Amino acid sequence: MNQNYNKIPLAIVTGAASGLGFELALLLARDGYELILIDVNSEKLQQAKEKIEARYATQVQLLHKDLSKPKVAESIVQSIEDRAIDVLVNNAGFGIYGSFHETDWERQAAMLHLHVITTTHLTKLILKKMVARGKGKILNMSSLAAFQPGPLMSLYYASKAYILSFSEAIANELKGTGVTVTCLCPGQTKTCFQEVVSNGCSASDNKIKFNIACPKQVAAYGYEAMKKGKIVAIPGNINKLLSKLPRLVPRRTATAVIRRIQEKNRAV
């Protein structure tokens, strides 16, 4: 075995084909990490690999995986064999718009499995080895949505709240181990997220253009927070204020405000 095999840091990024996942992969490649990139879109994943390797002299391995499927975390760990993971970025995710009782259950279940089960299981499998080695960093992608209920995207908001709570709890457990967990909670960001939420419909673009962040800037903010071992990272002063909305006004009022925003954003 090459003696440098375990000396070059290695990072896993899920949802790496585009958006924040791709931007985070670029930052890791810039800093000398080898990459294992995971996404359900094999074509965009290959394009991401080519773009990264064109800019940085690093090795990029691709895993075409649907992270909403059962036991996918186990298959990922089996694919990487005994390689030591220095950074895990749980970025993959999607949203569903519509009233809870009217939206498709199969798609809802897939989203919950991705956000909750796969994120948790992959973290558990990788974390055990990180703790044993006494080093490692995990970046979990939550959202500003984690801080309040979200009518018309109820399960998305709830699942992001789970990721935030889970990340904060295990970050506390890991004090003194050499392993840190950071939860990135961005607000509206200019990615393909809204198109997926709206399932490609004509109302896929946000109608509220205020406070939409650049994915490069959000990724850079989250990446620096991860390197520093910060537990919760909320990019932007406006978003920091919005995260406190349920504390500043009655939760019922905050929930009504969120519903109005959702309806306005997706008005045809």
Hey, CA dihedral for 18, 127, 149, 248, is it positive or negative?
Answer: negative
Determine how many CB atoms are found less than 10 A away from the CB of residue 162. Answer: 17
Catalytic pick from 5, 56, 97, 156?
156
Kindly state the helix (H) or strand (E) to which residue 161 belongs, with its residue range: helix 154-173
232 touches 183 (CB < 8 A): yes
94 touches 197 (CB < 8 A): yes
In the residue annotation, 162 being an active-site residue is answered as no
Q: From CA 26, how far away is CA 155, in angstroms rounded?
A: 30
Q: Quick check: helix, strand or coil at residue 3?
A: coil
Kindly state the helix (H) or strand (E) to which residue 87 belongs, with its residue range: strand 87-90
Q: From CA 168, how far away is CA 217, in angstroms rounded?
A: 23
39 touches 115 (CB < 8 A): no
By the 10 Å C-beta count (0-12 exposed, 13-18 middle, 19+ buried), 105 is classed as: exposed
| Integer Rg of the chain from CA | 18
Q: What are residue 179's DSSP bridge partners?
A: 136
Q: From CA 180, how far away is CA 264, in angstroms rounded?
A: 38
Which amino acid makes up residue 69? Answer: K
| Residue positions annotated with a catalytic role | 156
